[in-house]
A and B are shown apart, each in its own frame.
Chain A
Amino acid sequence: MYGYIVKRMLMLLPTLVGAAILVFLLLRLVPGDICLIKFGGEGAYADPEQIKQCQIQLGLENPIYVQFWDYMKGFFVLDLGTSMWTGKDVTYEIGVRFQLSLQVAIMATLTSVIIAIPLGVISAAKQNTMVDYVVRGFSIAGIAMPSFWLGILIILGLLIGSQEMFGRPWMPPINYEPIWVDPAHNLSQLIWPALATGYRYSAVATRMTRSAMLEVLREDYVRTARAKGLIEKVIVNKHALKNAMLPVVTIVGIEFAFLMGGLVVTEQVFNLNGLGKLFVESVTQSDYTLTQALVMLVVMIFVVMNFVVDVLYAWLDPRIRYS
């Protein structure tokens, strides 16, 4: 197992270097000048001299290969530089958003797992019954319904519902407080986006759990277990569930990584100051240093999640590590 983990870890490095090079080159191909956006983006007249000063200050006057060399040097000594927009350390800019995104991702993943696994298992165990049809309907609705739309419905529902019930409208807070500072404020803000994204995410996982369970329940060893007279509950929970979890683990891992940087629209709906919003801002502002760091962070999250999934796979099914 240890040899397998070390081998998988060594494979991370070339992936990260390749991604860094690709990100640098792609960003330079995208049109846009941060200085022009900064000083003239709102339509105000920007003095060409001011634009030039800004470009010199940010090192954008240097040839591409010099910029690339500086970037790669920083990459290898783990210096991500400063945001071209705010002048603050990129690590600070990302750090502020990271905890929020991480919390939403964890809460959405938990919501999803709590919903998906029991429903998927029940649906498979009660295949082609009314229960199965209801669960399938619930999960198909979740896949069809974009999270941001569900988010809007939740906000409108809360506004209108609270107006009807208490005579005054209420919506979740729009400014973030860390959970250790004000747990009530924090949870009353983040529970709703976690539900909105968690539901969609659970729909995918429910269907995956159901189909994996159905496959496993048709395996010979399950038939043997039944023939031995084991009760269905034990067969499902003890013998089938662990094996059925292999594809579900993959889905959960990849979706978690996606949630860390991919909640762009949901973040807009709930005014969350997360990584998704920062990503969009940094790209539209042509803030190269910040965008590069963010892409690398997301690459890192994906790579690490893949690694974790692979290790979990190996733990769930020892045959994998031997092959």
Chain B
Amino acid sequence: MKNFWRSTATTALTVGIAALFGPAAAQAETPQYGDELRIVVGSKIPSYDGHIESTFGMIHPIRPFYSLLIRVNPDNPSSPTDFVCDVCEGDVPAATDGGTKYTFKIRDDVKFHDGTPLTAHDVKATFDKIAFPPEGIASNRQAYFKTVESISAPDDRTVVFKLKNPTGTFLPSVAMPYNFIYAKKDLDAHGYTWHQKNINGSGAFKFVEHVPGSHVKGTKYEGYHHKGQPYLDGYTAISAPKMSVRLQAIRGGQADIEFRGFPPKARDDLVKALGDDITVQESDWNCVLIVTPNHKVKPMDDPKVRKALSLAIDRKGGSQYLSKIAIVKTVGGVVFPGHPLAATEDELKQLAGYGDDIEANRAEAKRLLKEAGHENLKVTLHNRGVDQPYKVVGTWLIDQWKKIGVQADQWVQPTTPFYATLRKKKDFTISLDFNCQSIVNPIADISKFLPGAGNNYAEFQDEQLIKWYDELLAEGDQAKQREIIRKYEKRVLDELSSQFITLWWYKINPHRSYVKGWKIAPSHYLNQALDNIWIDQAEKKRQLGG
């Protein structure tokens, strides 16, 4: 017990110090050149093509080879609205022509690693591939660019995106970290699948080697367009599927950082073992665990039953306790809690299951179940066979439901059959699911709750939600977007309880304290260009010797 309190206090102190003095200290320090960064990555690389992949297993090792048109500000990545130019110049352009035209000026000093200058034509070819792929060519982000009417490059340094209507989703969609800029000549000469197995980027690092299952190596690109960067001579992304290996690798000095995040216990163990040699950065995470009832299966076709199950969940209490053992923490609605379009605390309290009085919520839940004729309800929660946070939160949910007299158990499946059940077989009553996005893009993100959306497994229809969502897509004014989202949110979480939110994830990144410059983002896909990272070599020597 004594150790527990000591470790908790140490963690709190480290986090506090990092939060208070971290940014200021980082600004005060002069970056050093040299050395290499060793990253441990817990997932696999399906291909090198950002336009078709969605996994951090690809982003973490491959993103440093590429540039984007715009990106999340690497010095302020925790802001969900701060975007800066990467291969464009100046500030991110504002929309013109009533919010339907974006004109980007492309820098004239960007070169691909093979020496070819990067021009507006490369940017156009890239976004044509993403938004309007030819038949037979996959593009995983095509839906994000549905509002784009045309892309043109009137000269070498100008790219114009013409939209069908004003929308708040455009800039965040452009800034998605998967939108690697490819050379037009590569696409023309080798075809649209060449980048799945080959790399020619204009990012801070040049590709050296990929040993499948082992590592990816990159070396500093001397011609990188952000002058003075990168600071590192290179990096190695080591594949390490087991979390314990990644954790011990940082502890034992075999790796410097892991970008996806560790659970609280792992953080505490590292802090306890390494003290000042570890820096912990923490952040709200643009991932949320959702409970999805199957509306086609009784009794989930009854909104009273669904609402009762949502009312039973003590989100505030859960946040307090679960955040000590799992990667969840933040209470929120359908929009990422840190965004201006998210509900305020008072607005949240108006929704089922978010009120302060949990006993009153549960009494109401029991009343609803009685009214629906399901006083002795039995449910099986379908869950994914992954500990963090699925099984932990699933077990907690079952306990929450027991508190309103519902007999609940869990049906846990490995990832592949889990998704086969959700997508193909649909033979579940109620399931855990998640929505995990890279860029915080609320209007796009909340399509997860839209009936008929490909990734909505609740099997229901509601014209009202579809109507509001269409209005939202065509609305350029943020205040009006906010109003529509509130109505949409209330309908999803309260009136229909078509799906309900448990807790938002919480990202914890402990890393060796000699790693400098990197700042945590609300997504494990963001801020991975590695161009702003440097190593305090004296400190590294003190910690690891050599």
Pairing of A with B: yes
Q: Point out residues on A near B: beta carbons under 8 Å.
A: 31-32, 36-50, 53-54, 85-88, 93, 96-97, 152, 155, 158-159, 162-163, 168-176, 268-271, 273, 277-278, 281, 284-286
- Which of B40, B44, B248, B249: most chain A CB closer than 10 A? B248
Let me know if B410 is at the binding interface, CB within 8 A.
no
Instruction: Say yes or no: A168 contacts B545, CB within 8 Å.
Output: yes
Instruction: Say yes or no: B248 contacts A159, CB within 8 Å.
Output: yes
Instruction: Say yes or no: B138 contacts A54, CB within 8 Å.
Output: yes
CB distance from B215 to the nearest CB of A (A): 5
CB distance from A157 to the nearest CB of B (A): 12
Complex alpha-carbon distance, A277 and B196, angstroms: 23
Residue of A nearest to B142 (CB): A47
Which of A45, A49, A176 makes the CB contact (< 8 A) with B455? A45
Instruction: Say yes or no: A271 contacts B242, CB within 8 Å.
Output: yes
Instruction: Say yes or no: A47 contacts B138, CB within 8 Å.
Output: yes
**Given A44-B140, A96-B213, A269-B242, is A168 in contact with B253 using a C-beta cutoff of 8 Å?**
yes
Complex alpha-carbon distance, A318 and B543, angstroms: 62
Instruction: Say yes or no: A96 contacts B214, CB within 8 Å.
Output: yes
Question: Which B residues between 248 and 274 are near A, CB-CB below 8 angstroms?
Answer: 248-249, 251-255, 273-274
CB distance from A38 to the nearest CB of B (A): 5
**A-B CB contact pairs (8 Å), 12 listed:** A31-B417, A45-B454, A47-B140, A53-B137, A96-B212, A168-B544, A169-B253, A171-B253, A174-B240, A175-B215, A268-B245, A273-B239
Which of B197, B252, B414, B423 makes the CB contact (< 8 A) with A169? B252
What residues on A are CB-neighbors of B244 within 8 Å? 152
Which of A37, A47, A86, A268 makes the CB contact (< 8 A) with B242? A268
Residue of A nearest to B57 (CB): A42
Complex alpha-carbon distance, A172 and B249, angstroms: 9
- Which of A93, A158, A176: most chain B CB closer than 10 A? A176
What residues on A are CB-neighbors of B12 within 8 Å? none
Instruction: Say yes or no: A174 contacts B255, CB within 8 Å.
Output: yes
Complex alpha-carbon distance, A158 and B242, angstroms: 19
Which of A40, A53, A171, A273 makes the CB contact (< 8 A) with B252? A171
Complex alpha-carbon distance, A47 and B143, angstroms: 10
Instruction: Say yes or no: B214 contacts A176, CB within 8 Å.
Output: yes
Instruction: Say yes or no: B138 contacts A37, CB within 8 Å.
Output: no
Residue of A nearest to B418 (CB): A43
Instruction: Say yes or no: B212 contacts A88, CB within 8 Å.
Output: yes
Residue of B nearest to A50 (CB): B138
Instruction: Say yes or no: B419 contacts A41, CB within 8 Å.
Output: yes
Q: How many residues of B contact A (CB 8 A)?
A: 56
Instruction: Say yes or no: A50 contacts B140, CB within 8 Å.
Output: yes
Complex alpha-carbon distance, A41 and B56, angstroms: 12
What residues on A are CB-neighbors of B140 within 8 Å? 39, 44, 46-47, 50
Instruction: Say yes or no: B213 contacts A273, CB within 8 Å.
Output: yes
CB distance from B448 to the nearest CB of A (A): 9
**Given A171-B254, A269-B245, is A40 in contact with B213 using a C-beta cutoff of 8 Å?**
no
The 3 closest A-B pairs by CB, nearest first: A171-B252, A45-B455, A44-B54
Which of A36, A37, A42 makes the CB contact (< 8 A) with B54? A42
What residues on A are CB-neighbors of B453 within 8 Å? 45
CB distance from A279 to the nearest CB of B (A): 11
Let me know if B115 is at the binding interface, CB within 8 A.
no
Complex alpha-carbon distance, A48 and B423, angstroms: 11
Instruction: Say yes or no: A39 contacts B245, CB within 8 Å.
Output: no
Complex alpha-carbon distance, A48 and B138, angstroms: 10
Instruction: Say yes or no: A170 contacts B416, CB within 8 Å.
Output: no
Complex alpha-carbon distance, A241 and B285, angstroms: 65
Other A-B contacts than A39-B52, A44-B55, A174-B254, 7 sampled, CB-CB below 8 A, are A36-B420, A41-B415, A86-B197, A170-B252, A172-B254, A173-B254, A174-B249
Complex alpha-carbon distance, A291 and B216, angstroms: 23
What residues on B are CB-neighbors of A170 within 8 Å? 252-253
CB distance from B369 to the nearest CB of A (A): 30
Let me know if B436 is at the binding interface, CB within 8 A.
yes
What residues on A are CB-neighbors of B254 within 8 Å? 171-175
Let me know if B241 is at the binding interface, CB within 8 A.
yes
What residues on B are CB-neighbors of A39 within 8 Å? 52, 54, 138, 140
Which of B213, B251, B436, B544 makes the CB contact (< 8 A) with A277? B213
